């Protein structure tokens, strides 16, 4: 049974080779996947054009159910994006080096899910063609966005987050791009030459690189937290029962990390399987991710309980009513499903046997995300359907148009990701090298300690794997 995160004896050249081959000549399965994604996007595009022509009515949104799946899915994708930040930034700062083989695609996920999330506020607008009015540009009429509105905050936050995480991803990739450059031919050569910004691996570059990467990581963590807090304030800032909840920011952040980690597990398994990354995306690393996910799942469940109990012991009858309705009313199947997927299912992650069984983990991770998606929907819709004004109560289910667009968003995300894994190394080569290097060094030192030898003793330090 594999216990080490990674095999230190692996040759560096091997690392380069393995990863670089993952960029080349895509197999049939890849093109099929691309095809599927494009088809899904097509559905969404058709639906959106139709909605644009006819008006929001085609989405079967109504009075008072004004937001529905669009905003729910928006939160879902925003949440998804937090995983990358967690894995690369937080774990980087705490020197958890097992992140190294897997953080790259996690960061890519961050960027792409943000690019997906950003679409939904646009799609759900009644007059999308006036979208730019939300941007703070100086107009000669002296009209500005309403900076009091959480929606305006959203657009600041998302813009910042998208920029920063994209840069973070890119900066971290430069040395690998240099490797690609040195091994690529044709258009790829040109592309990588430009992208690697003339990286030569000099000590100066490495020095500044280290600082920059660290600083960015430091920025990204509070940013990620603030972004989802702001998204949560779309609801927490309102006065609606079930929305006006103080615990929403942490609740949202927890949920975000949760769905993000689950998504990482999914992609982890997919990549490991298709790109034969067994050497790098090893079971122990998966286990660590699973444990992390489990912890977050528990935190999320806890915050759920907090919310329920604060409603229960609070004095707002309307809130209580709404909560009871979630438990028993029209939405209850989905609500219970959410609780099951979110709080019960993660216990599979607690068992080593299951954790190490990839198919199980694959299914589980998918279901966890289904649960998290339901959570977002259960935050948005019940409050809209049943709030203060009983005469306005109505439960309306989303129309095919809404579903199509939500469905398509997964295609869009998938397509971006597929393109990414074929153009950019989805495993960070230089960091895996570091990992290998440092781990072996550590071993050597411990050995040396045993034999009371100098660590730099040629015999002890048996050169580099390359030779």
Partner 1 sequence: MSKHHIIGLFSDFEQAFSAIAEIRDGKIPGVSVDDVILKSPIEHPEIEEVLGERSSHVPKFTLMGAIFGITFGFLFLASAEATFLVQPQGGKPVIPLPSNIVLTYEMLILFGVLFTLISFLVSARMFFKRDNLYSEKVSLDQIGVRLAVDEKNAQALKGLFQQHKAVEIREEVVR
Partner 2 sequence: MSGNEINRRDFLKLMGVSGAGAALAGCDMPSTVTLEEGKEEVIPYVTPEEYVIPGVGVWYASTCRQCAAACGTHNRVREGRVLKVEGNPGSPVNHGKLCQMGQAGLQGHYNPDRLTQPLVRKNGALTEASWDEALGMIKQHAGSGVNGGRTAWVTGTVSGHQAALVQAHLDVMGSAAHHYVHEVVNNAVGQAVNREVLGEAQPRYLFDKAGVILSFGADFLGAWQSPVHFTGEYAKFRTTAQRGVLVQVEPKMTLTGANADLWLAVRPGTEGVVALGIANVLLTKFNRDGSRLSADVRTTIARYDFDTVTRLSGVAGDRIAKVAGWLNERSPSLVLSGLSAEGQGHGYDAAAAAMLLNIILGNVGKTIVSGGSFPFTHLTAKAGNTQSLTAFADGVEKGGYDAVFFYNTNPVFTAPGFMALGDKLSKVPLKVVFTNFRDETAMRADVVLPIHSAYEEWGTHVPAYQGDDGFIGVQQPVMEPLYATTRGFGDVVLDLLKMRAADKYNAFPDYYAYLRKEFAGLPADVRKGAGEEVFWQQALQQGLVPVKRKEGGALSAKAVAVNIPDYSQNAEYPYHLIPSPRLGMWDGRHANLPWLQESPDQISKVVWESWAEIHPQTAQKLGVEEGDYLRITSDQGTIEAKVYIFKGIHPDAVAVPLGQGHEEYGRYAKGRGVNPLKILSPVHDGKTGELAMFGTRVKVAKAGRKETLVRLGGSEAQHGRKLVATITADVFRRTEGGGKDVV
Partner 3 sequence: MSFKNILGDWAHYRRGREEGGFHNYEHKWGMAVDLNKCIGCNACSIACYAENNLAVVGPERFAKHQAMHWMRIERYWDEPDLEGEIPASQYQEQGASFLPMMCQNCMSATCEPVCPVAATYHTPDGLNAQVYNRCIGSRYCSNNCPYRLRYFNFWSYYESSWPAPLHMQLNPDLTVRDKGVMEKCTFCVQRIRVAKDKAKMEDRKVIDGEFNTACQQTCPTGAIVFGDLMNPESQVSKMWATHQVELGKTEQTKQNPQMRGYRVFEDLNTDPKVLYLERVREV
Query: How many other C-beta atoms are found inside a 10 Å radius of the C-beta of residue 9?
Result: 9
CB 64 within 8 A of CB 384: yes
Written as six digits, the tokens of 300 are: 């999320």
User: Taking CB under 8 A as the criterion, which residues in 317-346 touch partner 2?
Assistant: 317-318, 321
Site string for partner 3, 130-169 (x = CB under 8 A): xx-xx---x---xxxxx-xxxxx--x--------------
Sign of CA dihedral 352, 356, 358, 362: positive
Q: Report the distance separating Cα 341 and Cα 348, nearest Å.
A: 11
Length reported for the chain: 467
Judging by beta carbons within 10 Å of its beta carbon (0-12, 13-18, 19+), is residue 384 exposed, middle or buried? buried
Site string for partner 3, 95-134 (x = CB under 8 A): --------------------------x--xxxxx-xx-xx
Total site size for partner 2, rule CB under 8 A: 11
CB of 135 to partner 1, least distance (A): 12
Peptide bond into 289 cis (omega under 30): no
Say whether residue 167 binds partner 1 (CB under 8 A).
Answer: yes
CB 293 within 8 A of CB 278: no
Sign of CA dihedral 259, 264, 265, 266: positive
Q: Report the distance separating Cα 437 and Cα 223, nearest Å.
A: 32
| Contacted entry of partner 2, partner 1, partner 3, none for residue 13, CB cut-off 5 to 8 Å set by kind | partner 1
Instruction: Pick the closer one to partner 1 by CB: 163 or 328.
Output: 163
| Contacted entry of partner 2, partner 1, partner 3, none for residue 312, CB cut-off 5 to 8 Å set by kind | none
User: What does the DSSP 8-state code read for residue 8?
Assistant: T
Written as six digits, the tokens of 298 are: 């528990």
Site string for partner 1, 183-222 (x = CB under 8 A): x-------------xxxxxxxxxxxxxxxx--xx--x--x
The SS3 assignment for 136 reads: coil
Q: Report the distance separating Cα 236 and Cα 246, nearest Å.
A: 7
Among 32, 39, 49, 54, binds partner 3 (CB under 8 A): 54
Say whether residue 315 binds partner 2 (CB under 8 A).
Answer: no
Q: Report the distance separating Cα 83 and Cα 262, nearest Å.
A: 9
Instruction: Pick the closer one to partner 1 by CB: 199 or 251.
Output: 199
Among 13, 122, 324, 442, binds partner 1 (CB under 8 A): 13
CB of 384 to partner 3, least distance (A): 6
Say whether residue 313 binds partner 2 (CB under 8 A).
Answer: no
Which residue has 């690019």 as its token pair? 115
CB of 387 to partner 3, least distance (A): 7
User: Taking CB under 8 A as the criterion, which residues in 403-462 touch partner 3?
Assistant: none
Instruction: Pick the closer one to partner 2 by CB: 140 or 389.
Output: 389
CB 338 within 8 A of CB 382: no
Q: Report the distance separating Cα 298 and Cα 352, nearest Å.
A: 17
Stretch that binds partner 3, among 5-13, 288-296, 362-370, 387-395 (CB under 8 A): 387-395
Instruction: Pick the closer one to partner 3 by CB: 150 or 284.
Output: 150
User: Taking CB under 8 A as the criterion, which residues in 341-400 touch partner 2?
Assistant: 386, 388-394
Sign of CA dihedral 6, 423, 369, 100: positive
| Contacted entry of partner 3, partner 1, partner 2, none for residue 463, CB cut-off 5 to 8 Å set by kind | partner 1
Distances from the Cα of 260 to the Cα of 81, 107, 209, 397, angstroms:
6, 11, 27, 27
| Contacted entry of partner 1, partner 2, partner 3, none for residue 317, CB cut-off 5 to 8 Å set by kind | partner 2
Say whether residue 93 binds partner 1 (CB under 8 A).
Answer: no
Instruction: Pick the closer one to partner 3 by CB: 126 or 333.
Output: 126
Among 143, 324, 344, 350, binds partner 1 (CB under 8 A): 143
Q: Report the distance separating Cα 269 and Cα 282, nearest Å.
A: 10
Sign of CA dihedral 123, 129, 133, 136: positive
Instruction: Pick the closer one to partner 3 by CB: 309 or 394.
Output: 394
Binding region for partner 3 (CB under 8 A): 54-57, 60-67, 121, 124-128, 130-131, 133-134, 138, 142-146, 148-152, 155, 234, 237-240, 384, 387-392, 394, 396
Binding region for partner 2 (CB under 8 A): 317-318, 321, 386, 388-394
């Amino acid at each position: 049974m594999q216990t080490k995160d990674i095999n230190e004896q692996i040759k560096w050249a091997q690392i380069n080779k393995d990863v670089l081959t993952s960029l080349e000549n895509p197999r049939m399965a890849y093109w099929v996947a691309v095809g599927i994604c494009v088809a899904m996007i097509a559905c969404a595009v058709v639906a959106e054009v139709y909605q644009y022509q006819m008006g929001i009515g085609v989405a079967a949104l109504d009075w008072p159910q004004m937001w529905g799946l669009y905003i729910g899915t928006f939160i879902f994708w925003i949440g998804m994006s937090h995983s990358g930040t967690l894995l690369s930034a937080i774990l980087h700062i705490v020197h958890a080096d097992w992140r190294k083989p897997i953080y790259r695609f996690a960061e890519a996920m961050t960027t792409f899910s943000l690019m997906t999330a950003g679409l939904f506020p646009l799609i759900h607008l009644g007059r999308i063609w006036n979208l730019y009015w939300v941007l703070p540009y100086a107009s000669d009429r002296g009209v500005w966005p309403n900076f009091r509105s959480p929606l305006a905050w959203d657009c600041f936050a998302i813009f910042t987050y998208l920029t920063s995480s994209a840069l973070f991803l890119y900066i971290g990739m430069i040395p690998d791009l240099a490797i690609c450059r040195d091994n690529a031919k044709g258009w790829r050569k040109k592309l990588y030459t430009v992208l690697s910004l003339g990286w030569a691996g000099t000590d100066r570059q490495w020095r500044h690189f280290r600082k920059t990467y660290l600083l960015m990581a430091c920025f990204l963590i509070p940013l990620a937290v603030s972004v989802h807090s702001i998204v949560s304030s779309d609801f927490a800032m309102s006065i609606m029962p079930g929305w006006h909840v103080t615990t929403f920011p942490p609740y949202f952040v927890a949920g975000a990390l949760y769905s993000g980690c689950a998504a990482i597990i999914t992609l982890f398994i997919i990549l490991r399987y298709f790109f034969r990354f067994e050497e790098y995306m090893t079971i122990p690393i998966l286990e660590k991710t699973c444990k992390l996910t489990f912890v977050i799942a528990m935190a999320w469940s806890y915050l759920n309980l907090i919310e329920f109990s604060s409603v229960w012991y609070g004095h707002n009858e309307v809130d209580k009513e709404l909560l009871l309705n979630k438990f028993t009313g029209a939405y209850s199947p989905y609500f219970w499903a959410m609780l099951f997927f979110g709080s019960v299912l993660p216990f599979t992650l607690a068992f080593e046997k299951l954790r190490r069984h990839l198919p199980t983990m694959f299914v589980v991770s998918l279901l966890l995300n289904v649960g998290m998606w339901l959570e977002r929907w259960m935050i948005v819709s019940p409050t809209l359907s049943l709030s203060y004004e009983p005469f306005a109560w109505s439960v309306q289910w989303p129309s095919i148009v809404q579903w199509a667009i939500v469905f398509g968003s997964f295609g869009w995300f998938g397509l971006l990701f597929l393109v990414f894994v074929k153009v950019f190394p989805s495993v960070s080569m230089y960091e895996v090298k570091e990992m290998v290097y440092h781990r072996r060094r550590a071993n050597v030192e411990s050995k040396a300690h045993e034999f009371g030898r100098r660590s730099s003793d040629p015999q002890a330090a048996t050169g580099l794997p390359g030779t």
